[in-house]
Copies of this chain bind each other. A is one copy, B any other.
Amino acid sequence: MSNRGKLYGIGVGPGDPELITLKALKALAKTNIVAFHQAEGKKSNALTIAECWIKRHQQLLPFVYPTTTEILSPHENYEFILADFYEKISKELRYYLDNGKTIAILAEGDPLFYSSFMYIYNRIGNEYETEVIPGITSVSASASALGVPLCYRNQTFTVLSGVLDQLTLEKRLAVGEAFAIIKLGRNLDKVRTAIYNAGLIKRALYIERATMASERIISLCAAATESSPYFSLVLIPGISWN
């Protein structure tokens, strides 16, 4: 048992490499293997954020997503493909951990907030010594970059996925006072319509790649209709108090 490795889930934050915590840096420095998710043929976002903190002697371990869209037919395949993917990753990680390797899994933003790390954590987190180090979310980063307080006093703050259908979005935008809408991608047109129908379009702010060098703040109306980058979101801040 004592020769088994430790698993870290490390939040690398939203994009600016300096928006990583000291605790994350200290943990990262202790690891033999640095793992991260990436799309086929693309560089990992988490690796891009954290690579300036990774040393030459650390082994890089990419997990290449078998698919990056949920739009498959039949729909059930997505869940099966992903479950299989995470089972294979878990098996590989068990091998390294059993052989005494200490492993960091990098997560953009926060590891327990809409992250792929959670699926690995749920599979092997109880089998090995595991530590999760929280990170700055894209929601907090976007508020700072846009310069807007998110929510005041006793306001309700709600995070919605742009993948939800328009009617559900509209219904959920009718409850509460402040919102962030993530996972825009090809859903931007639908999201914009839902916000308009909910009477919130004048308060909605749009941002791409908050805190990254390529950060872009444009009006929600000016944002491309076809598709938004992965790192984009809409904030609807609460109405200011006092």
Contacts and interface: CB of A to CB of B under 8 A. Distances in A.
Interface of A: 11, 13-14, 16, 18-23, 25-26, 79, 82-83, 86, 110-115, 118-119, 121-122, 125, 130, 132-137, 140-141, 143-144, 147-161, 163-164, 171-172, 175-176, 183, 240-242
A25 B242 CA distance: 30
Nearest to A14: B134
Nearest to A133: B144
Contact of A143 (B79, B134, B156, B159): B134
A242 B83 contact: yes
A86 B83 CA distance: 52
A143 B112 contact: yes
Copies assembled = 2
Nearest to A132: B144
A172 to B, nearest CB: 6
Contacts of A20: 21-22
Contacts of A152: 114, 118
A50 to B, nearest CB: 12
Given A21-B19, A134-B136, A156 B149 contact: no
